[in-house]
Amino acid sequence: MRHFIVTSPTSGGDRGLQPMGSRAEILSALERRNTAPERPGEDTLYGPGIVVELSPGQDPVLQMILFIDDEDIAWQVIPRLARDLHWRLVDDTTGREMVFGR
Q: How far apart are CA 93 and CA 80, in angstroms?
A: 23
CA-wise closest residue to 49 among 26, 29, 27, 79:
79
The 10 Å Cβ neighbour count of residue 64 is: 21
Return the pLDDT at 90.
Answer: 93
Mean pLDDT over the full length of the chain: 91
Residue 78's SS3 state is helix
CB 91 within 8 A of CB 4: yes
Query: For the whole model, what pTM was predicted?
Result: 0.90
Q: In this model, does residue 33 exceed pLDDT 70?
A: yes
Confidence of residue 102 (pLDDT cuts 50, 70, 90): low
Distances in whole angstroms, Cα of residue 42 to Cα of each of 20, 25, 34, 66, 96? 19, 15, 16, 15, 29
